[in-house]
Structure 1
């Protein structure tokens, strides 16, 4: 016999990530990949160690992987398009980017700040026109200089 779930657990809501980048505010995305930092590992062997092998110790810094923002929506009136034209003209645009994970009520659960973020790739959907509401973004690839995490 199948046990029924309480009414408040189904359907599971989709995640909403809100992105702020410079003067661009609250750009919604459904998925964010790559929020990770790979620490640098140093192999070290003390010269007086009786064991003839190395130890792994954490180093400073590390690798910052690119972030992928997927399934976004930008309004037609947004200043996103001014920003997009600046990048097309060759202007380097490096600013902090903030990603907020919001629950179904819109309250922020956790916040990530990417330092000195810059756009590496922007792909619109094949069906880029979404009517009056705006233009759909398939994915954006963003490079950055580090991640900070803040819980609200």
Structure 2
């Protein structure tokens, strides 16, 4: 008898990446793409002058978090990203937590990543081309101070 998949464990299949949602200060914003969810630890190299070993010791240093890029289609009259961006004035922007959630097949949250103290740092309008057959997409880059994961 063929296996119809009904007896498979939850961990058999990985999650798909096309089903996600973004919560920005308590409101859901719809995006086409989210990239840049990454963290990196800088390496500190040290060697004491009297060390008999002729190489350095490597230690973990400061963590760095890359900016996150959010892309969405442009709709007539939709200024949501511009409204968030125009609030920036010399370090007085209200920093918020942005939550990016990966959804399962039932549209329930499977995993979430939280961007701590986030604020928009760049916005890009679509390029315009008279012979293109594409939708207009605007891009916002968000800086943040930490990336945590939760289930």
TM-score if structure 2 supplies the norm length?
0.67
Give 1:35 shift.
Answer: 0.8
Q: How does 1:61-140 map to 2 (within 5 A)?
A: 61-71=62-72, 82-87=83-88, 92-125=93-126, 137-140=137-140
Q: How does 1:13-92 map to 2 (within 5 A)?
A: 15-23=18-26, 25-59=27-61, 61-71=62-72, 82-87=83-88, 92=93
Q: Which runs of 5+ in 2 are unaligned?
A: 5-15, 129-135
Q: Do 2:102 and 2:110's aligned partners in 1 also have CA atoms closer than 8 Å?
A: yes
Greater helix share, structure number: 1
The 1:41/1:75 distance shift into structure 2, 3 A limit, reads farther
Give 1:83 shift.
Answer: 3.7
Q: Do 1:69 and 1:140's aligned partners in 2 also have CA atoms closer than 8 Å?
A: yes
C-alpha RMSD of matched pairs (Å): 3.5
Q: Which deviations, in whole Å up to 9, do the C-alpha atoms of 1:97-143 show, x marking residues without a partner?
A: 1111123431112101111101012234458xxxxxxxx75321000
Greater strand share, structure number: 1
The 1:78/1:100 distance shift into structure 2, 3 A limit, reads farther
The 1:79/1:121 distance shift into structure 2, 3 A limit, reads closer
TM-score if structure 1 supplies the norm length?
0.67
Secondary structure of 2:54 counterpart: coil
| Rounded Cα–Cα distance in structure 1 between residues aligned with 2:102 and 2:22 | 9
